[in-house]
A and B are shown apart, each in its own frame.
Chain A
Amino acid sequence: MPETVTPEAVETTVRDALVQFGPEPDDIKRDATFEELDVDSLDLAELSQIIEDEYGVKLKGEDVGKIKTVGDAVDLVVQRAG
């Protein structure tokens, strides 16, 4: 895989993606919920594509349904890639 799968690297990837979707960079924290950030299912579908590109980890519909916060997304990717 092109990226080393560390929590820091994944967090950077997730953060960079979310910034493109519209939330203010300062609001993107580990414990911020996607609901608070106005990140919806279409944004998460795009995020899944980016994650797969970078880490080869496929997030399926049921995975995406479980993650509620930025931290949840980072942890799930790290766990799957590990």
Chain B
Amino acid sequence: MTQVVVTGIGAVTPLGVGARTLHERWLAGQSGIEDGEGKASEFEPKDHLSVKEVRRADRFTQFALVAGDEALAEAGWSDELPYDPTRVACIIGTGIGGIGTLEHNHDVLRDSGPGKVSPLAVPLMMSNAAPGALSMRYGLRGHSYGIVSACAAGAHAIGTSASLIQAGAADAVVTGGSEAALTPLSKAAFAALDALSDSGISRPFDARRDGFVMGEGAAVLVLEDAEKAKARGATILATVKGYGASSDASHITAPQPEGIGAADAIRQALETAGLKPEDVDYVNAHGTSTPLNDRAETKAIKAALGDRANEIPVSSTKSAIGHLLGAAGAVEAVATILALRDKMAPPTLGWEEQEEGMDLDYVPNEAQPLKVNGKPAVALSNAFGFGGHNAVLCLEAHE
């Protein structure tokens, strides 16, 4: 089977602009959550984009462009693509797309009438705006579309992209996820579902957890056919070893209580990687801080990994940046890649109280070294979405 490698990563998150910034700050135990939300407050669009680019992009697309610039620069693609442009795909996930644009234009419609709605409303709010903008910016002319699977979208995008390369449909893919949903309607709607934390604290797997804290941001990764990447002398960060995807087919918002669908996706990710539970050194959990997810996910990890589940660290990026919805899977994949590189499990911040039956090593509050025995470190990165969508990536450090 064709191996797929990662040659560039970029991120915009509540911990700052940059993939390394996310990694270093999370590893150091810093939180990007303030006043109950994970705003990408260090992101200033005009620092990175022209006046026209800023006007032509909803915030979620701006995040993707800036994360993309970082990833493509690292891959050495900034000036010229190393492949036939028609063989380079661009696939970016989102949960909601340009909801800020939608809400603003709805205000205009209500207050000033249909004649005042912006001609830019549709191109800014459409959920495929981010891959459209990235494709244009870099002349990527292969497969290009958005992936929409709520909070699993970022992971589905990466998995789908790896599959495209393995199917021979692309030599490389610019992929990831993006979300900018800290808007009044979105916040009210998630609150109405009782999904958001009343306390404003993200503490995944802790007995006191009371819902997720919403965050915003994006991550973009450059994936390449491993042989082609080696042939062009690219610096390789990691290998996308496996990908599992499944559906709970159970409830539109609640996870299947025993985590059956999630466990299926974890098993599939390992099978496609050709690995066994004992090969896994770290799990980057979906870990939303909702009562239902964290319980079901713990069961899923135990069901899929057996005894190995109790021997390895399991931590949640959402403890440091909140839940980035459709960007989460991509941002967490990036965080996982850098954790594998440094052989460190970043911490689950805020974890103090154990709930009965939730007894994995959640890496409370301080990073811990991975126990890797002379082989490249392997991790699973979980992402689950409303609709019952599950996507799990198996990532391996490149040494």
Contacts and interface: CB of A to CB of B under 8 A. Distances in A.
A46 B115 CA distance: 11
B52 A46 contact: no
B167 interface: no
Contact of A21 (B55, B118, B123): B55
A45 B52 contact: no
Contacts of A45: 119
Contact of B55 (A20, A49, A52, A53): A20
Nearest to A53: B116
- Interface size grouping (class) on chain A: 10 to 19
Interface string B105-141: 0000000000110111001000000000000000000
A31 interface: no
Contacts of A42: 56, 119-120, 123
Contacts of A8: none
Contacts of B52: 21-22, 38
A27 to B, nearest CB: 13
Contacts of B116: 49, 53
A45 B51 CA distance: 18
A46 B55 CA distance: 12
B373 interface: no
Interface in A35-56: 38, 42, 45-46, 49, 52-53
Contacts of A22: 50-52, 55
Nearest to B50: A22
24 contacts: A20-B51, A20-B55, A21-B51, A21-B52, A21-B55, A22-B50, A22-B51, A22-B52, A22-B55, A38-B52, A42-B56, A42-B119, A42-B120, A42-B123, A45-B119, A46-B118, A46-B119, A46-B120, A49-B115, A49-B116, A49-B118, A49-B119, A52-B115, A53-B116
Given A46-B118, A53-B116, 9 more contacts: A20-B55, A21-B51, A21-B55, A22-B50, A22-B51, A22-B52, A42-B123, A46-B119, A49-B118
Interface of B: 50-52, 55-56, 115-116, 118-120, 123
What are the 9 A-B residue pairs with the smallest beta carbon separation, nearest first? Answer: A22-B52, A45-B119, A22-B51, A46-B119, A42-B119, A42-B120, A22-B50, A21-B52, A38-B52
